[in-house]
Amino acid sequence: MTELVVNEIFHSIQGESSHTGRPCVFVRLTYCNLRCAWCDTAYAFEEGRRMSVAGILSAVRSFPCGLVEVTGGEPLMQDGVNDLFEALCDGGYEVLVETSGSLDIGGIDRRVKRIVDFKCPGSGMVKKNLWSNVGALTQQDEVKFVILDKGDFDWAVERVREHGIDKRCTVLMSVVFGQLEPIELARWMLEEGINARFQLQAHKYIWEPAARGV
């Protein structure tokens, strides 16, 4: 029986991606291979309990919601995650996964919508990006860049154009909460004419920014 180490399972409003505003069940898995300077979920590095895929599915079913996001940490670190994806999709759920882009996304169930969070220089993890993942992206997927400063923004624009990411899927740009004013990123995007979607972490405006389980 496949088991995964789960940090938390909760029902909330989707705060990011083109699915922002939708009720969503989040399955946050434990462990991460990165240590981003601005990480807001460091508690998921180690904290968690072992759960079977059947147990996770039962917990998800307790909420009146058809959208599920598997996140972390880095969910692709756990071998059994693909069994979870299959069980959720077979169960009729619309499934999202948020992954750093440092691990191969090619083996993910094709029914899962992949949100790939490539790391900008300000994260300190830029060397971990696995750019071969771009070739696996489809129109249902999304790529996210979290921007700390103008240097990060310029770098992200270059990567989008170098790899033609905006031709493959939706590109999202977000600020590091509390460290870059949203108006600055909005201004840069308008001036640059980048084919991307501005986003805020909506959950941090609805609830306290440091709140867990939301």
pLDDT tens over the chain, length 214 residues? 799 999 999 999 999 999 999 999 999 999 999 999 999 899 999 999 999 999 999 999 999 999 999 999 999 999 999 999 999 999 999 999 999 999 999 999 999 999 999 999 999 999 999 999 999 999 999 999 999 999 999 999 999 999 999 999 999 999 999 999 999 999 999 999 999 999 998 888 888 877 787 7
In order, the DSSP letters of the chain are: --EEEEEEEEEEE--SSTTTTSEEEEEEES--S---TT-S-GGGTT--EEEEHHHHHHHHHTSS-SEEEEESS-GGGSTTHHHHHHHHHHTT-EEEEEE-SSS--TTS-TTSEEEEEEPPGGGT-GGG--GGGGGG--TT-EEEEEE-SHHHHHHHHHHHHHHTHHHHSEEEEEE-TTTS-HHHHHHHHHHHT-S-EEE--THHHHS-TT-S--
Domains of the chain by range and CATH?
3-206 (3.20.20.70)
pTM higher than the cut 0.85? yes
